[in-house]
Amino acid sequence: MKLAVPKETKEKEKRVSLTPDVVKGLVKGGFECIVEKGAGEGSFFSDEAYCQAGAAIENDKSKLFADADVLLAVNTPDSSQIGHMKRDAVLISFMWAVSSPDLVQACAKQGISSFSVDAIPRISRAQKMDALSSQANLGGYKAVLLAANTLGKILPMMTTAAGTIRPAKVVIFGAGVAGLQAIATAKRLGAVVEVSDIRPETKEQVQSLGAKFIEVKGDESIKIEGGYVKGVSPEFLKKQQELVAKHVKEADIVITTALIPGKKAPLLVTEEMVKSMRFGSVILDMAVEQGGNVAGSEMNKTLVKEGVTIIGESNLPSLLPMNASELYAKNISTFLLHLASKDGFKWEMEEEITKGSLITHKGSVVHPALSKPVTA
């Protein structure tokens, strides 16, 4: 099978779907790899490195798409690029299918099979394929560094001849993968860390990292599936906001990480809370691409409101492109080898990982979370 690796075209995207090391293993396993010229440059992988790994370099993006049996990407190509793919080819990438109906329909109409890596079930045997976690881990780390770099003070306590500097206070919303890494990073830098999460089972994890847990008692409106929040009522969000308002007011840095799959991100930091913060404090909204957890945050913009800097960086893993690409390449290649061999796909339609991640197949939308199948 011919595996194609395109150069990503999304704004601010520096990652690449396969690295030379992973290409080398796939070529050894009998796959043919074709990499678009310059695809790895943003992640510091040269065309020469891909050639040495056994890949061919393709200058023509349209030809790359047309020749691919399997297109491996970070982000789903746009509809016009999907139109160059041959019928029965396979696309594997982040698709965010619930919120990207036009791209899903484009895949169905083109007659290609598409797998979304963000839909891979969060089960133990799929851990090595879990691109959401690998990228969120890096995002949580980078969020703290970005906020700390913007803050006009140091994070740790420091005693000098001129006096003692008190440690900075960091408040983190959400103790998922990104939040836990943010906690660990902020603690390593010497900050005092407080954490809010509506899932009581995260309390022990938060405390094990040396942070204080801000406990909000849950109610029946909270829907959790597989350890992830799927829904929450406006009444509960208001109760959470009231409880954490005092902590936000005293914070030097606030980092928000809360996402609900397929829905707008919940508002956690209100305009009044922003106004209450100290002059010079910093907020980083990791959910900005899905509507944001912070009132006034804007995607890919850094704004100053009421003396508070609000950072709306939409693609934090791309700011660490070498590591992000290395991890993603291992995730997506493990996923590919679960689905197929060099001779073709297994198409085990009732197998849990296949069923959970397959979006379109043979001209139809097939994922159970999406609308009725639309046949090409």
Question: pLDDT tens digits, residue range 265-310?
Answer: 989 999 999 999 999 999 999 999 999 999 999 999 999 999 999 9
Q: What is the C-alpha to C-alpha distance for residues 375 and 128, in angstroms, rounded to an integer? A: 33
User: DSSP letters of 136-183?
Assistant: HHHHHHHHHHHHHHHSSS-SS-EEETTEEEPPPEEEEE--SHHHHHHH
Residue in the structure block whose two tokens are 């491996």: 72
The catalytic site residues sit at 122, 127, 130, 133, 228
Torsion angle, alpha carbons of 146, 263, 74, 324, to 10 = 30
Mean pLDDT score of the chain, rounded to an integer? Answer: 93
Looking at the chain, the domain(s) classified CATH 3.40.50.720 span 2-119+320-365, 136-319
CA 185 to the chain's CA centroid = 18
Q: What is the C-alpha to C-alpha distance for residues 78 and 86, in angstroms, rounded to an integer? A: 15
CATH of 136-319, one of 3.40.50.1820, 3.40.50.150, 3.40.50.720, 3.90.600.10: 3.40.50.720
Q: What is the percent of the chain with per-residue pLDDT over 90, rounded to a whole number?
A: 85
Which CATH superfamily groups domain 2-119+320-365? NAD(P)-binding Rossmann-like Domain (3.40.50.720)
Question: pLDDT tens digits, residue range 126-140?
Answer: 999 999 999 999 999
pLDDT score at 305: 95
